[in-house]
Amino acid sequence: MRILFYCIRKVFDMGSKISSFGKTADGKEVSLITLVNKNGMGIEVTNYGATLVAVTVADRDGRIDDVVLGYDDVTDYTLHGGYLGATVGRNCNRIHGAKVAIDGKEYILDDNENGNNLHSGFQGYNSLLWDFEVIEEELAVKFTHHSADGEQGFPGNFDITVTYTLTEENEVKIHYCGTSDKDTIANLTNHSYFNLGGHGSGDILEHTMWIDSDAITVTDARSIPTGEIRDIKGSPMDFNTPKKIGKDISADYDQLIQGAGYDHNYVLKNQGCGLRKIAEAADEKSGRVMEVLTDSVGVQLYTGNFIDKDSRGKGGAVYQPRHGFCLETQYYPDANHHENFPSSILKAGERYDTTTVYKFRVK
């Protein structure tokens, strides 16, 4: 079992470190990269899935804890589902019927969830071994992948970089950038499950949440958008006024019943205005606050409703449903099938370029 980051930070105060994260089933070495800023905040990332493994931040009393769910080594990441901390692509979320039409041509994708395509199928970016380089002067790690024409069923040779930067303002900045030689879908996200009380501290129902959105994309019983964009002001889905995640999660409301809780794309305000604050979560007990900034048009709030019961995470922590929440910035799910949704098509030769920031503080 690896030594958890917050246990080694006393002997590794600032900068970067590369260590072993185990081997894949076919014997390939996997790396774990640790970054620490001058404030003592740190992150761990691995080249398996360009995955965010740990985020260690202090509470209001200065106690350090890891606030993302994850596993101790690469073997557990390969054995368990849930996409914990992973980079998801070439397309995150769901595509109805596991097929897309681009420039009049239909492309067949993996059917890996009830007749639909989820997170790009059986060989998503979350299960790839990425190339990487550490950018010491920026306290960053840049992951790269050449996604060949036809990989996952999508057209175009898509060259993608995902860069994690740990700033001195206690931000985890994730920058996605890529180009394709054919029109394709480009819609990546990070699938971290956050628990601001600490990854092993239990459920997140007492966390307070705010999301800058007045609407959601309505889904059917299989979590596929119907095309309806619904005004949610005053409904159990509304987080315009901060409230506890658990306040309305069991309300008698069609979308919450279908999703067994929150698992919905929120239509963000101020689209086209660049990087701006779109959400905030807070844990009153620890005092930790996480702000989310993005230039994306949507964000998926997922409250871990289907985390495998009694799964074992880092340090033997027991994870259960609703022990973490995700805020996955994105284009709207199934955008290719709905003309009223912003398009997730990346034109050949154009640049896919988007940034999401998770910023931490205490109150």
CB 124 within 8 A of CB 110: no
Active site residue 146: no
Sheet holding 15-23, edge to edge: 15-23, 29-36, 42-46, 51-58, 64-66
Active site residue 168: no
What DSSP designation does 169 have?
T
CB 65 within 8 A of CB 100: no
CA dihedral 333, 334, 340, 343 (to 10 degrees): 90
3-state DSSP call for residue 327?
Answer: strand
Any idea which residue has 């069609």 for tokens? 254
DSSP characters for 21-32?
A: EEE-TT--EEEE
Measured in whole angstroms, the distance separating CA 288 from the mean position of its chain's CA atoms is 19
Report the largest interatomic distance among the alpha carbons of the chain, rounded to a whole angstrom. 58
Write down the catalytic residue from 119, 191, 199, 338: 191
Q: Which value, in Å, is the radius of gyration of the alpha carbons in the chain?
A: 19
Write down the catalytic residue from 151, 323, 328, 338: 328
User: Whole-angstrom Cα distance, residue 247 to residue 257?
Assistant: 15
- Which residues are annotated as catalytic? 191, 328
